[in-house]
Structure 1
Amino acid sequence: MLKEHPRGLMILFFTEMWERFGYYLMLGIFTLYMIAPETARFAGLGMSNMEAADIYGSYLAMVYLTPFLGGLIADRFLGYRKSIYIGGLLMAAGYIGLSFASGMMGFFLSLLLIILGNGMFKPNISVLLGKLYEKPEYEHLKDSGYNIFYMGINFGAFVCNFVAAWLRLTYGWGWAFAAAGIGMLIGIIWFAFGNLKVPEIREADKISPKREGDFSLGKIFTVLFLPAFAAAAIGWLIPNNIFGSDSNDAFIFFCLPVLLFFFNTWRSAAKEEKAPIAALLSIFGVVIIFWAVFHQNGSALTYWAKNNTDRELGPKMEKVINTIASTEEVSTVPRERQLIGLHGEDLGTKMGSSYYFDNYNKELPTENIDGKPKDLTDTEWEKAEADSDAQHKKLVLWPTELQASINPFFVIIFTPLLVAFFNFLGRRRKEPSTPGK
C-alpha cells in the first residue's frame, strides 16, 4: 500500500511521530509536575490544581495561536523546510530547558520556546505533506496519506507516556522532559536525512507567490493582533474576574476582535466566496469545541485519574510492569464524601467503604459525641479500627499519565480499518468527499 504513495510520506511520518512523542510526553506530565510537592522525592513546583490548570490552559492557548503566524512566515518568507528545522530546534531547546529549569523564570522561558517552536513546526509539516500529493498521480491518495500520517502522530502519543512514567519515577521529572527534547532532535535528524535522500520534499517546498489582495504581516498585526492583545490586556486588568481568573478573562477578551475579524471577512467577501467561507467558519467552530474538550485530558481528566480512579495493580500485573509503577501511601479507612451538584447544591453524603482512596485528603468527620464519623455504623467503625495497617497502607499504582495513552491506542487500532474501508469504497467509486468523511 505504501508503494503507491510519495516517498516523502514516511520521512514526514517519522518526523511528526517523534515531534508528537515529545509534545504529548511533556503534556502528559505537565500538570502532574506543577502540582507535585516541592518536598517530594522528585520535587515539583508545589502549585494548587487551579494554578496548574490556569498555566496549562494559557500554554495551550498560545500553542494554538502561534501556528497562524508560523504558517504565514513559512508561506511568504522562509519556506516549509526551514520553518520545520527552526521549530523543531526551538521545541527541543524548550523541553531540555524544562529539565534544567530551577526557577519560575527558566520554567516560563522554556514554555515560550516550545510555544514558538510549535508555531513554526506544526502547521508547516502538515502543509508540506499536502504538497507531496499535488501531483496528479498522487492526488487520489491524499486522504489515505493523511490517515497514515495521523497514525504516526498517535503512535508517538501512545508510546511517550510509558517512557515518561518510567523516567520520572526512576530518575525524576528532569529526565522525562529531557526525553521529549531528545525525541524532537531525533525527528529533526530524520527529517534532514530525508531532505538529502528524497528530492520530492525539496521540490514541494516552494514559497507562495504574492497575490493581489493578500494581507501583509504588518496589516495582519494592525487589524487583528493589535486589537486582540489590547482587549486581552483589558481583560487581564479589570477587577473582579468575570470568567474565573485573569488568564480566562484575557483569553475571552482576546477572542472578541478575532471573531469580529472573521465576521468582517465573511461579510466583505464576494458573493461566490461567502458560502465557502461560512462553511469553513462552521468547521472552525466544531474544531474549537473538539480540541477544548480533548485537552481536558491534561488537566481535569488527569486530576480525575489521579484522585478518583482505582489505579491499584494486582500482584500479577505488578510483576509485569513494576518498572513504571509507583508505590504510594494511602488510607483504607472509610471516609465521608460530600456530593456537590452542578450549581453548588448539597446532594448529601455517602460513605466510601472501598479499599481505595488514593490522595483523598479529607479528615474523618467527628461530629458525633463518641468521636465516630457521622453516619458510620458501629460494625463498619470496628472493622476499620481493627485493621491497624489501614491507616497508612502502601499500594502499587498505575502512573497517572498512562491514561493519556488510551485515546491514541484506539486510534492506532481503528485507523487501518478506516483506511481500508475508504479504499474499498474508492475502488467502487463510492468514496465520500473529505468533508463528508
Structure 2
Amino acid sequence: MAQQVQSAIPARSGGNHPKGLPYLFLTEMWERFGYYLMLGIFVLYMKETQGEGGMGFPAVTAYDIFGTFIAFTYLTPFLGGFLADRKLGYINSVYLGGALMGLGYMGLALPGLGFFYASIALIIIGNGFFKPSISTLLGNLYSEEQYKDKKDAGYNIFYMGINIGAFVCNIIGAFMRNKFDWSAAFLSAGVGMFLGLIVFTIGLKHYRHANVLKPAVAGDTGIGQVLSLVFLPAIIAGVLGWMIPGDILGSDSTDAFIAATIPVIIFFVSLYYRANKDDKRPIAALLAIFAVSVMFWAVFKQNGTVLTDWAQNYTDRQVSESMEQAAGKLYLAEEVSSKESMVTQYDNQFRTLKDDNGKEVKAMGRSVYFRNIDPARIPADGKPVYLVNTELFQSVNPGWVVMLTPLVVAFFAFLRRKKKEPSTPAKIAWGMLISALSTLVMVAAVYAGHNGEFKVSALWLVGCYGVITIGELFLSPMGLSLVSKLSPPRLTALMMGGFFLSTSIGNKLSGILAKTWYNYEDKSHFFLVNCGLLLVSAAIGFVMLKWLNKIMQEKGVK
C-alpha cells in the first residue's frame, strides 16, 4: 500500500516527495483510525444506559468529559514534544506514544470506572508523545532543498492519511458495536494503533536520518526547568482548580483544565521574551496564529458533541425499504423496535429522565427516535425499523477531506504556477472565514425542521461538514506547515506542541459551548453564536496578515 500512496503523490501535488512520506502517511492513518473510532462512539457510550452496556452518564456530564478529554490529549504534546526534541528523539516518542494509546483503547473494553479513567489517562499521555513527534519527522524530511517548496502539499497529503483512517474507522466501529458490543469496538481501535506501529517500523530506513535531536543553546530552558517550572506548576494548578469550592467556570474539570493551562501558556509566551533577535519575530507570529486558531477548534470539535446529538435526535436516519435488508446484513444500521413497550423516558431535549434516586424513568411507549418523525413512517404492525448508526456521521468530515484534499492541493498548485498562491497565514485566515459559513448551514437546518419539531434530511449535516472541511483544509495542515517553516530548528517539536496547545484550549471550549446547547430553546441561536466567534477570529487573522507575511518573507519562506 505504501507504493500505491507514493505513486499517487506526484499526480496530486505536482512533484516528487520524500520516500518516507507514504510510511508516515500510513502510520498516521492507522493511529487516527484508532483515535477517531474511539472518539466517534465515546459520547454515545457514555450516554448509553447501563442496561445497554454504556456508562449511563447524563448528557451534560458526557459533554464535559468529552471536552476535557480531547483538551488534555492536545495539551500533553507540549511536554512530549519538548522531551522528543531534547532527550527521547522522535522515533522513540512515536513508539512510546503509540503503545500507550493502543493499551488505552483496549482498556476501555474493560468494565468499571477505574479502567475507564485509567484508559483515558493512557491515551492522553500517549498522544502527547506521538502527535508532535510524527509531525516533526515529516517536517524534517522536507528540510532538504529539493522538497522545501512542497512542504504545504506534503502536509496536505499527510492530512489526507489522517482522514482516511478517520473515515474507515466509524464503519468498522459501527459493525463491531452492532455485531458484538461496545468492547469489541474499543478493541478494534487498539488493534488499529498497533498496526500503525508495524507500518512505522517497516519504513524506518526512510526517516531514521530525520530523527535529529536538537541540542540546547545558551538561554534555552532545560528539561529540569520545564518539569519544575511548567509541568509541576500545571499539575498543582489543576489540582487546586479541581478543589476550589463551586464550579467557577461550569464544572470542576473545566476549572482544573483552565488552571492547568495557565503555567503552560506563560511558558510559551516566555519563549518570545527569552528568544534571540532572529527567533523573536517568528515565535511571535506562531503565538499569534495559535491564539487565532483556538476558535476554529472550539467550533470544529463539536462534531463529537452537538453535531452527534443532532445526528442522533434531529436527523432522519431511517433507511429505505430497499436498503433495510442490506443494512441489516452489513450491521451498519441499528435495529429499533416500533412496538409499544416499557422504554426509557426523555425530556423535550432528548435527555434521559431519572427519578429522585437517580434511576431511569421507564413507561409505556416507543423508542425516543420516533418522537419527532412522521407517524406515517412508523410501521403499523410494530415491525422493527433500521436506523443508520449515529457514529457513521463521524465519517462524513474525513470522507470530505479525502475527496477534497486532491482538489485543494491542485488548486494551490495552480495558483503557485500563476504566482498567485496565498501565503500560509492567508490560507489560515480564509479557512476561518469559510468555516463560519458552515454554521449557517445548521441554522438553515434548524429552520427546516421547525426547531426540532420534525427530523430533517441527513444532507444538512453532510453539507455542514462539507463546508467546514474546506475551511479545515485551509487551516489545520497549514498550521502544521507554518510551525515547521517558522520554528527555530531546536524548538520545532516544542512549537508543534504549542500548536496542539491551541487545539487543546479550543477543544475544551468546544465542550463548554456544547454544554450551553441545552440552554437554547431556539437551536439556531446556538449556531449563530458559533458563527460570530469564527467571524471575529477570521477578522483578526486578516488584520494581522500584512505583519505575518512580512515575517514569512524575512525567513525566506512562503
Alignment pair present for 1:252 and 2:258: yes
Distance 1:392 1:66, change over 3 A: farther
Q: Per the alignment, in what secondary structure is the counterpart of residue 165 of structure 2?
A: helix
Distance 1:191 1:183 in 2: 13
Alignment pair present for 1:231 and 2:237: yes
Structure 2 counterparts to residues 386-425 of structure 1, below 5 A: 394-425=384-415
Q: Per the alignment, in what secondary structure is the counterpart of residue 138 of structure 1?
A: helix
Q: CA deviation at 1:264?
A: 4.4
Of the three residues 424, 430, 438, the one matched with 1:434 is: 424
Q: CA deviation at 1:155?
A: 0.9
Contact kept? 1:331, 1:358, Cα under 8 Å? no
Distance 1:47 1:221 in 2: 35
Distance 1:393 1:248, change over 3 A: farther
Of the three residues 129, 137, 144, the one matched with 1:128 is: 137
Moved more, 265-274 or 248-257: 265-274
Q: Per the alignment, in what secondary structure is the counterpart of residue 321 of structure 1?
A: helix
- Letter of the 1:181 counterpart: G
Contact kept? 2:142, 2:150, Cα under 8 Å? yes
* Map of 1:73 onto structure 2: 83
* Map of 1:2 onto structure 2: 9
- Letter of the 2:412 counterpart: F
- Letter of the 2:97 counterpart: G
Q: CA deviation at 1:338?
A: 6.3
Q: Per the alignment, in what secondary structure is the counterpart of residue 210 of structure 1?
A: coil
Which entry has the higher C-alpha Rg, 1 or 2?
Answer: 1
Q: Per the alignment, in what secondary structure is the counterpart of residue 319 of structure 2?
A: coil
Distance 2:30 2:346 in 1: 45
* Map of 1:311 onto structure 2: 317
Distance 1:130 1:52, change over 3 A: same
Deviations 1:217-247 (A, max 9, x none): 2212333233333332222112221222111
Distance 2:82 2:346 in 1: 56
Contact kept? 2:49, 2:56, Cα under 8 Å? yes
Of the three residues 126, 140, 147, the one matched with 1:117 is: 126
- CA RMSD after TM alignment: 2.9
Q: Per the alignment, in what secondary structure is the counterpart of residue 247 of structure 1?
A: helix
- Letter of the 1:150 counterpart: Y
Q: Per the alignment, in what secondary structure is the counterpart of residue 217 of structure 2?
A: coil
* Map of 1:370 onto structure 2: none
Q: Per the alignment, in what secondary structure is the counterpart of residue 326 of structure 1?
A: strand
Q: Per the alignment, in what secondary structure is the counterpart of residue 429 of structure 1?
A: coil
Of the three residues 54, 59, 67, the one matched with 1:44 is: 54
Q: Per the alignment, in what secondary structure is the counterpart of residue 327 of structure 1?
A: strand
Contact kept? 1:167, 1:176, Cα under 8 Å? yes
Structure 1: where are the runs of 5+ without partners? 340-354, 362-382
Moved more, 116-125 or 22-31: 116-125
- Letter of the 1:397 counterpart: L
Distance 2:102 2:150 in 1: 32
Of the three residues 57, 68, 92, the one matched with 1:58 is: 68
Distance 2:90 2:213 in 1: 8
Distance 1:176 1:155 in 2: 18
Distance 1:388 1:190 in 2: 48
Q: Per the alignment, in what secondary structure is the counterpart of residue 336 of structure 2?
A: strand
Q: CA deviation at 1:85?
A: 1.1
* Map of 2:448 onto structure 1: none
Alignment pair present for 1:328 and 2:349: no
Deviations 1:338-369 (A, max 9, x none): 69xxxxxxxxxxxxxxx9951759xxxxxxxx
Deviations 1:156-191 (A, max 9, x none): 111111110111011101111111111111111111
- Letter of the 1:405 counterpart: S
* Map of 2:47 onto structure 1: 35
Structure 2 counterparts to residues 157-306 of structure 1, below 5 A: 157-195=166-204, 199-267=205-273, 274-306=280-312
- Letter of the 1:328 counterpart: V
Q: TM-score, normalised by structure 1?
A: 0.82
Of the three residues 140, 147, 150, the one matched with 1:138 is: 147
* Map of 2:164 onto structure 1: 155
Q: CA deviation at 1:75?
A: 1.0
Contact kept? 2:219, 2:274, Cα under 8 Å? no
Contact kept? 2:97, 2:127, Cα under 8 Å? yes
Contact kept? 1:93, 1:113, Cα under 8 Å? yes
- Letter of the 1:358 counterpart: Y
Distance 1:231 1:130, change over 3 A: same
- Letter of the 1:93 counterpart: L
* Map of 1:372 onto structure 2: none
Distance 1:204 1:337 in 2: 56
Contact kept? 1:234, 1:250, Cα under 8 Å? yes
Moved more, 176-185 or 49-58: 49-58
Structure with the larger helix share:
2
Distance 1:134 1:412 in 2: 26
Distance 2:245 2:346 in 1: 37
Structure 2 counterparts to residues 356-367 of structure 1, below 5 A: 358=369
Distance 1:388 1:306, change over 3 A: closer
Moved more, 298-307 or 414-423: 298-307
Contact kept? 2:20, 2:141, Cα under 8 Å? yes
Contact kept? 2:85, 2:214, Cα under 8 Å? yes
Number of residues of Structure 1 aligned to a counterpart in Structure 2: 392
Q: CA deviation at 1:320?
A: 3.7
Query: Relative CO higher for 1 or 2, CA cutoff 8 Å, sep ≥ 6?
Result: 2
- Letter of the 2:396 counterpart: I
Q: Per the alignment, in what secondary structure is the counterpart of residue 88 of structure 1?
A: helix
Contact kept? 1:88, 1:118, Cα under 8 Å? yes
Moved more, 390-399 or 299-308: 390-399
* Map of 2:114 onto structure 1: 105
Deviations 1:44-93 (A, max 9, x none): 11211122222212211210111111111111112111111111111111
Distance 1:124 1:112 in 2: 19
Distance 1:413 1:248, change over 3 A: same
Distance 2:138 2:207 in 1: 9
Contact kept? 1:16, 1:187, Cα under 8 Å? yes
Q: TM-score, normalised by structure 2?
A: 0.65
- Letter of the 1:39 counterpart: G
Q: CA deviation at 1:269?
A: 5.0
Q: CA deviation at 1:268?
A: 5.5
Alignment pair present for 1:23 and 2:32: no
Distance 1:268 1:330, change over 3 A: farther
- Letter of the 1:136 counterpart: E
Moved more, 177-186 or 228-237: 228-237
Distance 1:72 1:330, change over 3 A: farther
Q: CA deviation at 1:142?
A: 1.2
Deviations 1:86-145 (A, max 9, x none): 11111111111212x121111111111111111111111111011111111111111111
Q: CA deviation at 1:200?
A: 3.4
Structure 2: where are the runs of 5+ without partners? 1-7, 11-15, 350-365, 428-558
Distance 2:378 2:177 in 1: 32
Q: CA deviation at 1:388?
A: 10
